[in-house]
Amino acid sequence: MKIKVGVIFGGETVEHEVSIITAVQAMEYMDLEKYEVIPIYISKDRIWYTGEMLKDMSVYRDFDNLKRYAKRVVLLKKDGRFCLQQTHGLFKSVVTDLDIAFPIVHGKGVEDGSLAGYLEMVGIPYVGPGILGASIGQDKVALKQILQANHLPVIDYTWFYDYEYVKNTDEILKKIDKLGYPVIVKPACLGSSIGITVAKTKKEIDTSIREALQYERKIIVEKVVPNLLEVDCAVLGNYEYQETSLVGEMITDNDFLTFDDKYLSSSKGKMSSSKGKMTNGKLSTTGFEIPASIDQALADKIYQTSIKAFRALNLTGVTRFDFLIDQKKKQIYINEPNTIPGCLSFFFFTPKGKEYTKLLDELINYAIRDYKAKDKKVTSFESNVLSTFQGGKGMKTKTGNIISK
């Protein structure tokens, strides 16, 4: 019997379209001999849909006109099963049941632990990071604080909220001055390079901050690493076992890998079902060259640091870590994790012989294994304290005594 996998994607996020691209691609590569793949699309107005049509990328070019052909559903537990139930119509019939959920979402409102929290409440096994790992991975400030507490390398930074910038502009600018220009300004809780700019001088900083404030109320400003080389390393696993990919080197003509580099630039390799191009033993795809042109000692340091960060951040599934390298000092810094990365970072594992279909299979297996391990733990008690609860009068003990506030 096939395992029914509900692939959840979309959501009210500025990375909505990126999620669709990643999810449709992943559904194409799942092993259909093992899995029955059920698409679950969350529209920008937070309505959940299912239907075979949602596996076709062309549907999303004009979804408003086509969504009447998809079924509006809600995920719930009913009669001991995890189900997608219709929300419209006289009879709220079950469309299908599910064995496991596979969130392929990006950005605030979905990837940040929001969706993981809902899946935890329903009780369904799911692929990817839990609530804690997902939320930390989405907040660049909390992330750095936890990495620092675990003695992992991060670049110098400062952060603030939108109201603080209005009230204490001069004070915040002084803190940025201490970092030294150029600096990079980011919304604290977004991904895919959205809202990120580089301020090369003090004259540019206000414009950069206001650009970031369009997307997020919490802003982080980081010192730009000199002699910069940007590389990435993906980690696959759970709390017990971790496996690293090869290190990939970023390919871009910009100050950082932009949204266009990642998803729109045909010269850098579209995020599509393409596996990239092999040249002289290197894979070039989606803005990266794999393996990176760095010495083995530095690569080993990145592998070790990636695993330590994966564990420190309570992650599960596959996470791609972005690293900044000062090539002159050979000093590495963790930039940020992508806890549900675009393309699920399959192209980082391909040169190691792990094809996309196998990667997806292993992700599902990790989720099932973790679910079974958690299921063995005590999560509730059979005793019911409410059976002796007396409302405002307090609670009776076995001896008849009253316990009050």
Q: Note the pLDDT tens digit of each residue in 263-301.
A: 444 433 333 334 555 555 555 555 789 999 999 999 999
Q: For residues 166-192, give the mean pLDDT.
A: 92
Instruction: DSSP letter for 377, please.
Output: S
The C-alpha atoms of residue 337 and residue 321 are separated, in whole angstroms, by 4
The C-alpha atoms of residue 403 and residue 107 are separated, in whole angstroms, by 47
Inform me whether the pLDDT recorded for 389 exceeds 50.
yes
pLDDT classification of 259: cutoffs 50, 70, 90: very low
- Ranges of each domain in the chain: 3-126, 157-223, 226-374
What pTM was computed for the model? Answer: 0.85
| More confident of the two residues 196 and 401 | 196
CATH code for the part of the protein at 3-126:
3.40.50.20
Q: For residues 122-143, give the mean pLDDT.
A: 96
CATH code for the part of the protein at 226-374:
3.30.470.20
Fold for 157-223, please state it. Answer: Dna Ligase; domain 1 (3.30.1490)
The C-alpha atoms of residue 262 and residue 14 are separated, in whole angstroms, by 15
Query: Does an H or E element contain 19, and which?
Result: helix 16-29
**pLDDT one-digit tens code per residue, 211-255:** 999 988 999 999 999 999 999 999 999 999 999 999 999 886 655
pLDDT for 397: 57
Inform me whether the pLDDT recorded for 302 exceeds 70.
yes
Tokens 């992330």 correspond to: 143
What is the rounded average pLDDT for all residues in the chain?
Answer: 87
The C-alpha atoms of residue 15 and residue 233 are separated, in whole angstroms, by 22
Inform me whether the pLDDT recorded for 347 exceeds 70.
yes
| More confident of the two residues 21 and 395 | 21
Instruction: DSSP letter for 10, please.
Output: E
Residues in the chain: 405
pLDDT for 273: 38
Q: For residues 26-48, give the mean pLDDT.
A: 96
